[in-house]
Structures are given as C-alpha cells and as structure tokens.
Amino acid sequence: MADTYTQLHVQFVFAVKYRKALIAQEWKYRLHKYITGIIQANHHKMLCINSMPDHIHIFIGMRPNQSISSLIQNVKTETSKWIKEQKLCSNFAWQEGYGAFSYSRSHVPDVIRYIENQEQHHKKKTFLEEYHNMLQAFEIEYDPKYVFTEPIL
C-alpha cells in the first residue's frame, strides 16, 4: 500500500500592521498558545514560536495537506479576531504579507534556538535588518518597497 511521507520544516515571519509594537509582554504567551492551537487543529506540529512587540516567528513541521497561504491566512484572521474579543488590543491587525522559509532536518535545532533567543538577537539587529538578511540568505528576490513598512511610533 502506498503512503505519503514528508519532512517539511517551515519558519513563518510576519509583522503587526504598520509594525506597531502592539504584542504586549502580558499576553504574548496566551497568543502563542492560541496560535499553537490553530497550527495543531490544522494537523501541523508546532516546533517553536516567539514574538517581539511588532512581529512574530512561527516554526512548524508542516503537513502537505494545506497550502502555506491558507494556513497563514487562517492564523492571521483567527488571532486578530481573538485579540479583539479578548480585549487585549482594540486596534490590532497583522500587516499584509509574510515570509516562509524552509529548513532541512539538520537545521531544526539551530532555528529553534534562533527563535527562542529573539529578545537577545534584537538587541543587535532590527527586525528589518533581520528580515532582509533572511531574504538574502535564502536568495529571495524582493523589492524593498514591498517589505514590511517602517514602524509607526
């Protein structure tokens, strides 16, 4: 009997609309837990999640039963709605677009460590520097005017 075997490790990166620092320390772990539930409900495996006030990193073992765009749309829609319903932030929205980066099995521990250490990492690099470096490292062609907007302070 034929079966399907996959090993897909994908890191997603996306920002709060206008890169506003709206993800508060007081509720970010509740947000992570909620997103983990969405990922698991879609039959994927959460490997690591962490956020800064203006963006989030999600690293999963992805099953091929769903498109990346469908999953991210689901995560963004449901979390925006949940944040407002929980009265955590009344004007919360995610910025359009996202980054999706795939990794081999051998890179999984390094990516997890990288995501877990976001706070320390961003003491040295801004989010935009980090994101541009990721796009360049993965040799993704991009137009800088369409990369995440500068933060509104």
What are 95-149's pLDDT values in tens digits?
A: 999 999 999 999 999 999 999 999 898 888 888 888 888 888 898 888 877 777 6
- Please give the tally of structural domains in the chain: 1
* CB distance 11 to 111 below 8 Å: yes
Q: What pLDDT, on the 0 to 100 scale, is given for residue 53?
A: 96
Q: Which residue has the tokens 């944040």?
A: 83
153 within domain boundaries: no
pTM for the complete prediction?
Answer: 0.90
Domain of 79, CATH number, reads: 3.30.70.1290
| Residue from 45, 54, 42, 52 nearest 108 by CA | 45
Rounded Cα–Cα distance for residues 110 and 27 (Å): 26
Rounded Cα–Cα distance for residues 20 and 82 (Å): 18
Rounded Cα–Cα distance for residues 61 and 112 (Å): 12
Angle between helices 68-85 and 28-41 in degrees, nearest 10: 140
What are 69-89's pLDDT values in tens digits?
A: 999 999 999 999 999 999 999
Domain coverage including residue 59: 9-146
